[in-house]
């Protein structure tokens, strides 16, 4: 109603509005776009490179969908055996599945087909890598705190589903490398107690490899998983807009505002432009570097294999787990418990979900129910940062395990030694990195404190009249002082007194006790360096020139 009135008042009577406005009026009458635009057209987005990591993921996801649709026009998801007579000489006359031969057709006989295939695959690797880094940015800055926990889970689910979308896609060409990966999947399914063999028969439509899995993986890869992911991406973006973006602490930035550039025009130009930059860069990579050259790999046969059989990087963590696990197998009462395969299969999601659940643990241990829109500097949350680094350490140790044969040949090491290193490292390295990171964080906190109280080391050495040399410290500006002291410092939870004010005794529950203990171990007195207070600052600055 009010929009209609203002519009009538705004346009001069008797003169037709410009065409663009008329189209917008038409759409507004049906979609209500003016109200939408009022809220969002000049919406503020803070500018920081680390806030664009999510855009890298979004755009590579779009690129994957675009190129993927193109590929479906040529790919035959069939395992029917054919004899190849296409243009790639070293495979002519070979038996292979239609899936493999149609992938060769895309690569060698469709103009631009190889480019689109390579863009699709490179974009997939970058999509997953982008999600990983984006997730770490959100984690280390504490952007997952209330009200964004659900969006954190959406993002994590996107990463998790992305891994399987990638894996099913990688398996589609039915080449010798991916077939070996599918063979592993079959072995992993078979290891499931009780129902493993039944599951395996259901997945493969009979015994491995059967004639069905390419067609089945195809519908999962192009329909089921991307469909869910698209929904999650949309929900993720809606929540980002609804919550408004977080921002780094700094002058003028508070929990109650968001400082940055308006959507129209700056952010639109930058974000829109960034899509083209991402697409252009990936296209250029696809022009200069080959990926998954299935013609070199050859068609899948269950009795053939190549050394260096690895999955794409995002499955390297799982590959590492499976490679370094000792071969435990228990036979009792006529049944076999294949722990050597089943334990990694269980650890794999558990480790991944550990980071996904951290926000809830942290909220529980801090008892903090407020909204947070200002980001933490990682050093100011030592326990969280240390946990994140430990998690990454475990992840990367397993990535090394997943490529143990290649590290062996390229660094002239023994395969067995690397495997042992990873076996021990998986337990030891995360613990060491946890301890080291927490100490480094506290060291940095201490340095911030020094900087606030005594100023910045200027590098200028001054000789005093009596011969002493001192370094001149320059005081910080108020902006810097504010930025370095704006963060809150944690207080561990305390148990409520056993006897309350009215003298009624009450017992703390087990859960409460656990919570308090956890809270103390995370935020106790020796777990942070108290930040400089205004009183300390004034005391030091009033004693002028006294360092």
Partner 1 sequence: MKKLSARRRHPLAAVVVLLFALAVTGGLYAAFAPAESAKADDTAQSLAIEEGKKLYSVGCASCHGTGAQGTSDGPSLVGVGSAAVDFQVRTGRMPMQQQGAQAPRKKPVYTQAETDQLAAYISSLGAGPAVPSKDQYSPDGGDIAKGGELFRTNCAQCHNFTGKGGALSNGKFAPSLEDVDPKHIYEAMQTGPQNMPSFPDTTMSQKNKKDIIAYLDEVNTSKSESPGGLNLGGLGPVSEGLFGWIFGLGALIALAIWVAARTAKAKKS
Partner 2 sequence: MSSQDIPEETLPSKQGDTREGAVTVKGDPFADPGLPPHEHRVQDIDERAARRSERAVAFMFTLSMLATVGFIAAYLAIPIDKNIYVFPLGHVSAMNFTLGLTLGVALFCIGAGAVHWARTLMSDEERIDERHPIEASPEVKAKVMADFAEGASESAMGRRPLIRNTMFGALALMPLSALFLFGGLGPKPGTKLRKSKWAAGKMLVNQNTMQPLRPEDVQVGSLTFAMPQGMSEEDHDFQVQIAKAALMIVRLRPEDIKDKQELDWSVDGIVAFSKICTHVGCPISLYEQQTHHVLCPCHQSTFDLSDGGRVVFGPAGHALPQLRIKVNDKGYLEAMGDFAEPVGPAFWERG
Q: Hey, which residues between 391 and 410 contact partner 2 (CB under 8 A)? A: 404-405
Nearest to 131 by CA among 67, 56, 230, 229: 56
Pairing of strands 44-45, 81-83: unpaired
In whole angstroms, how close is the CB of 347 to partner 2 at the nearest point? 13
In whole angstroms, how close is the CB of 462 to partner 2 at the nearest point? 25
From 97-105, 306-314, 342-350, 375-383, span contacting partner 1 (CB under 8 A): 306-314
Nearer CB in complex with partner 1: 173/402: 402
Q: Which does 461 bind (CB under 5 to 8 A by kind): partner 1, partner 2, none?
A: none
What is the distance of C-alpha 169 from the center of its chain?
A: 20
* Residue in 17, 115, 237, 429 binding partner 2, rule: CB under 8 A: 115
Q: Which does 334 bind (CB under 5 to 8 A by kind): partner 2, partner 1, none?
A: partner 2
Q: Which does 293 bind (CB under 5 to 8 A by kind): partner 1, partner 2, none?
A: partner 1
In whole angstroms, how close is the CB of 206 to partner 2 at the nearest point? 6
d(CA 360, CA 358): 5
Cis amide bond preceding 147, omega within 30 = yes
Binding to partner 2 (CB under 8 A) within 44-73 occurs at 44
* End-to-end Cα, the chain, rounded Å: 67
* Residue in 292, 383, 437, 519 binding partner 1, rule: CB under 8 A: 292
Q: Is 50 exposed, middle or buried (0-12, 13-18, 19+ CB in 10 A)?
A: middle
- Detail the DSSP E strand segments found in 315-381: 330-332, 335-337
From 9-17, 157-165, 329-337, 385-393, span contacting partner 2 (CB under 8 A): 329-337
In whole angstroms, how close is the CB of 93 to partner 1 at the nearest point? 5
Cis amide bond preceding 199, omega within 30 = no
Q: x-or-dash pattern for partner 2, window 287-326, by CB under 8 A?
A: xxx----------xxxxxxxxxx------------xxxxx
3-state secondary structure at position 327: coil
Whether residue 98 contacts residue 78, with contact meaning beta carbons closer than 8 Å, is answered with yes
Q: Any contact of residue 415 with partner 2 (CB under 8 A)?
A: yes
Q: x-or-dash pattern for partner 2, window 332-361, by CB under 8 A?
A: --xxxxxxxx--------------------
Instruction: Spell out the residues 6+ positions from residue 384 whose beta carbon is closer than 8 angstroms to its own.
Output: 139, 140, 142, 358, 362, 376, 378
The DSSP result for 380-439, as a single string, is GSHHHHHHHHHHHHHHHHHHHHHTHHHHHHHTT--HHHHHHHHHHHHHHHHHHHHHHHHH
Binding to partner 1 (CB under 8 A) within 401-440 occurs at 402-406, 408-409, 412-417
d(CA 484, CA 408): 46
In whole angstroms, how close is the CB of 118 to partner 2 at the nearest point? 7
Q: Which does 203 bind (CB under 5 to 8 A by kind): partner 2, partner 1, none?
A: partner 2
Task: Report in angstroms the alpha-carbon separations of 149 from 135, 240, 296, 502.
Answer: 12, 12, 45, 38
Binding to partner 2 (CB under 8 A) within 253-282 occurs at 253-262, 265-266, 269-270, 272-282
Q: x-or-dash pattern for partner 2, window 449-478, by CB under 8 A?
A: ---x-------------------------x
Q: Which does 198 bind (CB under 5 to 8 A by kind): partner 2, partner 1, none?
A: partner 2
Nearest to 64 by CA among 201, 184, 229, 215: 229
Instruction: Spell out the residues 6+ positions from residue 319 whose beta carbon is closer than 8 angstroms to its own.
Output: 310, 311, 398, 401, 402, 403
Binding to partner 1 (CB under 8 A) within 20-59 occurs at 47-53, 55-56
Q: Which does 283 bind (CB under 5 to 8 A by kind): partner 2, partner 1, none?
A: partner 2
Q: Which does 220 bind (CB under 5 to 8 A by kind): partner 2, partner 1, none?
A: none
- Written in H, E and C, the secondary structure of 456-492 is EEEEEEEECCCCCEEEEEECCCHHHHHHHHCCCCCCC
* Residue in 66, 215, 277, 518 binding partner 1, rule: CB under 8 A: 277
Q: Which does 471 bind (CB under 5 to 8 A by kind): partner 2, partner 1, none?
A: none
Whether residue 197 contacts residue 204, with contact meaning beta carbons closer than 8 Å, is answered with no
* Residue in 307, 478, 509, 542 binding partner 1, rule: CB under 8 A: 307
Q: Any contact of residue 169 with partner 1 (CB under 8 A)?
A: no
* Residue in 100, 122, 156, 217 binding partner 1, rule: CB under 8 A: 122
Binding to partner 1 (CB under 8 A) within 353-382 occurs at none
Helix axes 33-40, 19-31, angle to 10 degrees: 100
3-state secondary structure at position 206: coil
Nearer CB in complex with partner 2: 136/192: 192
φ, ψ for residue 48 (rounded to 5)? -160, 140
Instruction: Count other Cβ atoms within 10 Å, centred on residue 212.
Output: 14
Q: x-or-dash pattern for partner 1, window 309-338, by CB under 8 A?
A: xxxxx--x----------------------
From 12-20, 90-98, 218-226, 369-377, span contacting partner 1 (CB under 8 A): 90-98
Q: Which does 11 bind (CB under 5 to 8 A by kind): partner 1, partner 2, none?
A: none
d(CA 401, CA 489): 39
In whole angstroms, how close is the CB of 511 to partner 1 at the nearest point? 42
């Amino acid at each position: 109603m009010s929009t209609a009135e203002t519009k009538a008042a705004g346009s001069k009577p008797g003169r037709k509005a410009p065409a663009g406005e008329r189209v917008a009026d038409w759409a507004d009458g049906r979609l209500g776009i003016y109200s939408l635009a009022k809220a969002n057209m000049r919406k503020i987005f803070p500018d920081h490179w680390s806030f664009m990591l999510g855009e890298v993921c979004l755009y590579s996801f779009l690129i994957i969908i675009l190129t993927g649709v193109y590929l479906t026009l040529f790919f035959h998801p069939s395992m029917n055996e054919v004899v190849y007579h296409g243009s790639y000489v070293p495979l002519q006359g070979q038996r292979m599945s239609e899936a493999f031969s149609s992938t060769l057709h895309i690569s060698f006989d469709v103009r631009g087909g190889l480019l689109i295939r390579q863009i699709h695959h490179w974009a997939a690797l970058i999509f997953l890598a982008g999600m990983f880094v984006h997730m770490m940015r959100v984690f280390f800055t504490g952007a997952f705190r209330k009200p964004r926990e659900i969006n954190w889970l959406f993002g994590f689910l996107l990463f998790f589903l992305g891994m399987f979308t990638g894996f099913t896609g990688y398996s589609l060409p039915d080449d010798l490398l991916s077939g070996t990966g599918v063979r592993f999947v079959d072995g992993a399914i078979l290891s499931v107690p009780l129902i493993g063999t039944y599951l395996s028969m259901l997945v493969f439509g009979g015994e491995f490899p059967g004639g069905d899995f390419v067609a089945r993986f195809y519908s999962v890869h192009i329909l089921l998983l991307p469909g869910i992911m698209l929904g999650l991406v949309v929900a993720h973006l809606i929540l980002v807009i609804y919550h408004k973006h977080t921002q780094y602490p700094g002058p003028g930035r508070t929990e109650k505002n968001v400082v940055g550039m308006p959507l129209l025009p700056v952010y639109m130009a930058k974000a829109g432009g960034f899509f083209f930059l991402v697409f252009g860069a990936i296209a250029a990579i696809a022009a200069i570097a080959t990926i998954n050259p299935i013609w070199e790999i050859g068609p899948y046969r269950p009795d053939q294999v190549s050394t260096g059989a690895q999955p794409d990087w995002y499955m390297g963590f799982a590959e590492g787990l499976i490679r370094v696990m000792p071969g435990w197998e228990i036979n009792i009462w006529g049944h076999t418990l294949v722990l050597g395969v089943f334990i990694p299969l269980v650890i794999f999601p558990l480790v991944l979900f550990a980071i996904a659940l951290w926000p809830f643990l942290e909220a529980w241990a801090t008892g903090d129910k407020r909204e947070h829109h200002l980001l933490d500097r990682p050093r100011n949350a030592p326990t969280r940062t240390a946990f994140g680094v430990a998690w990454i350490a475990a992840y990367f140790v397993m990535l090394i395990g997943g490529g143990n044969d290649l590290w062996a040949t390229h660094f002239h090491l023994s395969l067995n030694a690397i495997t042992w290193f990873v076996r021990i490292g998986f337990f030891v390295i995360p613990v060491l990195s946890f301890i080291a990171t927490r100490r480094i964080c506290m060291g940095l906190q201490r340095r911030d404190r020094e900087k606030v109280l005594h100023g910045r080391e200027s590098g200028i050495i001054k000789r005093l009249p009596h011969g002493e040399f001192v370094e001149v410290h320059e005081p910080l500006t108020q902006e810097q002082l504010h930025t370095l002291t704006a963060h809150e410092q944690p207080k561990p939870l305390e148990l409520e007194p056993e006897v309350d004010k009215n003298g009624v005794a009450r017992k703390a529950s087990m859960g409460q006790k656990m919570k308090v203990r956890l809270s103390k171990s995370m935020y106790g007195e020796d777990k942070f360096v108290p930040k400089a207070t205004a009183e300390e600052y004034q005391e030091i600055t009033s004693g002028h020139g006294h360092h």
